[in-house]
A and B are shown apart, each in its own frame.
Chain A
Amino acid sequence: MRASLSRLLLMLVLSLAGSAAARAADARLMLPEFHTLEAKASESVSVTLDSSLLAMAARFLDPNRPEDAAARQIIAGLTGIYVRSFTFDSDFAYPKEDVASVRKQLSAPGWQQLVQVRSRKDHNDVDVYVRVEGDKTNGLAIIASEPREFTIVNIVGAIDLQKLHELEGHFGIPQLKLDDKK
């Protein structure tokens, strides 16, 4: 009886630990290799930063440089940043099938679409998803398709969307004068 109870408790503890890890892991998307895109692209960017690499990068951020200070604040609660970005020499040179497998993952429970933009003028499509656990955001995904650039961003961990928004003015991102209106 005692052995059974111990086993039961052990299983309960393991399942709780496992589900916590699973929750964090769910925020991480399984990104395909994108071999086809890479072969066609004139430029490609692939960033894979898990928690240990993020910690390493943080040590080399200069707190006296505004960009580095902003980056340090953003990554404080993160466990991973994954980016795949491809630039092409002609419009829409990338097949839609490569994106389908990523979109499918974003229809899983927990993910919510925050923004969907379809621009007929610029032919830019942007989808922003967040993964919410209770009242905390623990995942962000962006799929951006522009005529000559395709980008997927997946951020895992406690994300402060306001701090991400405050990236404006750094790293070459223009400052968007948002009106204070609803």
Chain B
Amino acid sequence: MTDGDACSACDALARARSGDAAAFTTLVRRHQRAVYSLALRMLSDRGKAEDLAQEVFIRLHGKLALVQSETHLLFWLRQVTSRLAIDRLRRETRYEQLPLPQDLPLAAESSSGDPLLQQQLRGLIAQLPAAARAVVLLRYQEDLDPSEIAQVLEMPVNTVKSHLKRSLERLRERLTGEAAVPAPRTDDAPL
């Protein structure tokens, strides 16, 4: 973010806090992609994702006085979106999510790399348990480091690292379709 962008962001936040509806709409437009994308990849359902994303911004509107800065705002949005999504997933008690349908390509997904592999990855991520899914999305979609993820999800940082490690292993296994090679027993003396 350039200095000019930062100034503009702070300006919109300050005006929204003082009740400026147009400034609040500017904030929504600025952050809607991040919030919606996180909700979508957590819930794997566009309708539910929009519903959740709307709720996040409605809550933000009621809590604007508590938001101190643009950085705080980003943290707050990620935290509330993750929490609400995890709560919803747990209420539904469904951890096996279907991949997104192939005949509805999402906007802005044209990128370098293998689109089929990327779609497969999104489908596999949708099958992770709720907490692990949130950790993976905050890492690779929102580009947070483990300590930041730990703060957002209120989780020990070692638990975050464990989720990341296990999830990547699982993704790799599913992609390559290989099982681990068994280790032969040994009679090495213990320590």
Contacts and interface: CB of A to CB of B under 8 A. Distances in A.
Interface of A: 43, 45, 64-67, 96, 99-100, 103, 116, 118-122, 125, 127, 143, 145, 169, 171-174
B90 A118 contact: no
A178 to B, nearest CB: 14
A172 B159 contact: yes
Contact of B166 (A43, A103, A118, A172): A172
Interface SS, B side? helix
Interface of B: 90, 129, 131-132, 158-163, 165-166, 169-170, 181, 183-188, 190-191
B169 A174 contact: yes
A145 B191 contact: yes
Contacts of A96: 191
B156 to A, nearest CB: 9
A120 B183 contact: yes
Nearest to A94: B191
A127 B159 contact: no
Contact of B162 (A65, A127, A172): A172
26 contacts: A64-B90, A66-B90, A67-B131, A103-B191, A116-B190, A118-B185, A118-B187, A118-B188, A120-B184, A120-B186, A120-B188, A121-B183, A122-B183, A125-B188, A127-B190, A143-B191, A171-B159, A172-B131, A172-B159, A172-B160, A172-B161, A172-B162, A172-B163, A172-B166, A174-B169, A174-B170
B129 A99 contact: no
Contacts of B165: 172
Contact of A65 (B90, B132, B181): B90
Nearest to B182: A121
Nearest to A87: B158
Contacts of A116: 190
Contacts of A173: 162, 166
A42 B186 CA distance: 29
A50 B159 CA distance: 22
Nearest to A120: B186
Nearest to B90: A66
Nearest to A118: B186
Nearest to B187: A118
